[in-house]
Amino acid sequence: MSNCDPIYQENDDSIRVSILSEALPYIQKFSGRRIVIKYGGAAMSSESLQEAVFRDIALLSTVGAQPIIVHGGGPEINQWLNKLNIDSEFRDGLRVTNSETMEVVAMVLTGRVNKKIVNGINKVGASSIGLCGIDGNLLEARPWGNGSHGLVGEISRVNSDVIEPLISKGYIPVISSVAASETGITYNVNADTAAGEIAAAIGAEKLILLTDTLGILHNQKDSKSLIQSIRLPEVRDLIKQGIIQGGMTPKAECCIRALAQGVTAAHIIDGRIPHALLLEVFTNKGIGTMITGRG
């Protein structure tokens, strides 16, 4: 049977129509609701995957959900630091940032990565606007851990007024996690941390962290050890036990903070799976790790 065969087409069409129909309750549930999506550098590996993510974001917006994108760009920052012979050092899952590194982080995130995402989303028919935490003082920062990691910042305030008009007009904000202090010092804020704080400040329904791993694993070498559903106190235990470490630490911590401030659910999902976002939002199946609870 070829694709042109009428019976084949009929089957194909009825599958498509039934999938759409099954999505109706989810579309209704998320219509007018805010979904903060952290798009990790590690999940931006291939052009085709990137395009699938942009299409999912455009679809979410077209059916009435309000996606807000916060992005990282670790691999691309590493690439440019290497080109410029600047060493990278990670501690506690965070990039230790001196002023030289900060310049590269700001250039890569707000210039290359942000505009690539904005362009990609716009190309598939939605309207997005790129900005960073410095624009309109969206994200105010102070030094993380009293300055122990140089110019790594933590967020002291989110001025969500900056993005409210964009969201209400149907634009998708695409935010790079570069922020400034009241005195104008520029900080490198981990994008997971920024996404969690933004989700809490704008009353998001969901926080979704797209990354390059299945979710939280008990044992990183065993994909069968994926934790599908977990409550806050157990996440804290996993951090204490060192099962959650490296880049997963800021993710777990930002989920804890976002949930404690009223976000209903946080999800850590595998951005390497095509259409991971739609699978998470529009199906019962859900993928990755779902974190719930208030404390």
Per CB under 6 A, residues contacting ligand ATP are 40-43, 72-74, 191-192, 211-213, 216-217, 220, 243-248
CB of 231 to ligand ATP, least distance (A): 16
From the CB of 71, what's the least distance to ligand ATP, in Å? 7
Shortest reach from residue 206's CB to ligand ATP, in Å: 17
Nearer to ligand ATP, 78 or 261 (CB): 78
Nearer to ligand ATP, 71 or 206 (CB): 71
* Max CA pair span of the chain: 68
> Least distance in Å: CB of 230 to ligand ATP?
11
| Stretch of residues binding Mg ion (CB under 5 A), selected from 18-26, 153-161, 222-230, 241-249 | 241-249
Residue 55 or 73 having the CB closest to Mg ion: 73
Instruction: Give yes or no for residue 247 binding Mg ion (CB under 5 A).
Output: yes
- Could you tell me which stretch among 143-151, 222-230, 243-251, 287-295 binds Mg ion (CB under 5 A)? 243-251
245 binds, among ligand ATP, Mg ion, none (CB under 5 to 8 A by kind): ligand ATP
| Nearer residue to Mg ion within complex by CB, 191 or 204 | 191
Rounded Cα distance between 120 and 290, Å, is: 28
Beta carbons within 10 angstroms of residue 183's beta carbon:
5
Cα 129 versus chain centre, distance? 16
Contact of residue 43 among Mg ion, ligand ATP, none (CB under 5-8 Å per partner type): ligand ATP
Which partner from the list Mg ion, ligand ATP, none does 220 bind, CB cut-off 5 to 8 Å by kind?
Answer: ligand ATP
Q: Which does 51 bind (CB under 5 to 8 A by kind): ligand ATP, Mg ion, none?
A: none
Pick what 196 binds: ligand ATP, Mg ion, none; C-beta below 5 to 8 Å, kind-dependent. none
Helix (H) or strand (E) holding 208: strand 206-211
Interaction between residue 73 and Mg ion (CB under 5 A): no
One-letter amino acid identity for 11? N
Following DSSP, what letter does each residue of 111-145 receive, concatenated? IIIHHHHHHHHHHTT--EEEEETTGGG-EEEEEGG
**Nearest distance from residue 254's CB to Mg ion, in Å?**
10
Q: Taking CB under 5 A as the rule, does residue 133 contact Mg ion?
A: no
Label residue 80 exposed, middle or buried (CB < 10 Å: 0-12, 13-18, 19+): middle
Q: Rounded distance, CA 36 to CA 149, Å?
A: 26
Q: Return the structure tokens found at 3.
A: 């694709």
* Residue with Cβ nearer ligand ATP (181 or 245): 245
Judged by the rule CB under 5 A, the positions of this chain that interact with Mg ion are: 247
